[in-house]
């Protein structure tokens, strides 16, 4: 995957080694991309530099966003500017409106509104970024298991009738340069496999990886993907 691209691997907990790599290569800007599963302390095996970051974060900030904010601060103190992926690739940022031919119906819009409220509530506690709602009932909330596991779990809990929806939004006060909620074609495929009806993300507050492919898969699999304006209620007549 990285063949022909200059790169260096560094263990997640080896912060001192990572800092040296950046310094030796004269790095001025840093972009965080990709999915990172939050490891246990035993798996992380933090060196003295990583421990220092964790201590600075304090117990109050040890939610995902709080810890990531602490990491960003450390990079900035070290002289590197942290940039968001969508600053480099502006097409990644979700836009308002449907992706493809399929649009959420009235029940789906009601469920999206409910999901927005639920996702923002857990986001305010720095727990997760997503919720699945069906016919007004919250089937699941995202925590440490991640979105894929949430989709599978919630899909199995669905009742007969209109299908459930996944709502994925940034946490209130989210650090916009790192860990914005993201979906891709694989998310669409998992939604369809779980029997859910669609996905809603916040326009300007989420990443859509390869929107052309996302749109094509959504149309092919019969599910909707829609960008909802921040602060708007999709539960309209």
Q: What is the pLDDT of residues 88-146, one digit of tens each?
A: 888 899 999 999 999 999 999 999 999 999 999 999 888 899 999 999 999 999 998 89
Write out the DSSP string of 148-217: HHHHHHHHHT--SSSPPEEEE-PPTT--TTS---EE-HHHHHHHHHTT--EEEEETTSSEESSHHHHHHH
**In terms of DSSP bridges, do strands 198-202 and 224-228 run parallel, antiparallel, or are they unpaired?**
parallel
Selection from 9, 8, 10 nearest residue 50 by Cα: 10
Mean local confidence (pLDDT), 210-223: 97
Q: How far apart are the C-alpha atoms of 149 and 112, rounded to whole Å? A: 19
Residue 157 has pLDDT above 90, yes or no: yes
Give me the domains of the chain, ranges plus CATH numbers: 15-83 (no CATH), 90-228 (3.40.140.80)
Local structure of 58: helix, strand or coil: coil
Alpha-carbon radius of gyration of the chain: 19
Q: Tens digits of per-residue pLDDT, 64-79?
A: 666 677 777 777 777 7
**What pTM value is reported for the model?**
0.82
Where residue 217 falls (left for φ over 0; alpha for ψ -120 to 50; beta otherwise) is: alpha
58-62, 108-112, 147-151: least confident range: 58-62
Q: What pLDDT is stored for residue 18 in this prediction?
A: 82
| CA dist 169 → 12, 28, 79, 145 (Å) | 26, 30, 30, 17
* Pairing of the two strands 97-98 and 224-228: antiparallel
Please state, in angstroms and as integers, the Cα–Cα distance from residue 151 to each residue in 16, 53, 60, 210, following that order.
37, 33, 29, 20
pLDDT averaged over every residue in the chain: 86
Nearest one of 165, 172, 169, 191 to 180, comparing CA atoms: 169
């Amino acid at each position: 995957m990285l063949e022909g691209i200059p790169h260096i691997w560094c263990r997640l907990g080896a912060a001192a080694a990572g800092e040296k790599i950046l310094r030796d290569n004269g790095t001025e800007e840093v972009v965080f991309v990709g999915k990172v599963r939050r490891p246990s302390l035993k798996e992380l095996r933090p060196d003295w530099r990583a421990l220092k970051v964790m201590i600075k974060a304090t117990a109050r900030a040890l939610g995902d966003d709080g810890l990531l904010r602490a990491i960003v601060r450390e990079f900035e103190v070290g002289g590197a500017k942290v940039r968001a992926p969508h600053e480099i690739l502006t097409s990644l940022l979700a836009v308002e409106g449907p992706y493809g031919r399929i649009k959420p119906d009235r029940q789906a819009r009601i469920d999206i509104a409910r999901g927005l409220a639920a996702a923002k509530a857990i986001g305010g506690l720095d727990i997760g970024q997503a919720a699945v709602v069906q016919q007004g009932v919250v089937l699941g909330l995202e925590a440490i298991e991640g979105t894929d596991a949430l989709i599978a779990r919630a899909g199995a809990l669905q009742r007969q009738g209109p299908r459930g929806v996944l709502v994925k939004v940034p946490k209130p006060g989210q650090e916009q340069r790192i860990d914005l909620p993201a979906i891709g074609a694989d998310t669409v495929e998992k939604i369809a496999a779980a029997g859910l009806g669609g996905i809603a993300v916040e326009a300007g507050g989420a990443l859509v990886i390869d929107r052309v492919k996302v749109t094509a898969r959504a149309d092919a699999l019969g599910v909707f993907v829609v960008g909802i304006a921040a602060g708007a209620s999709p539960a309209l007549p």
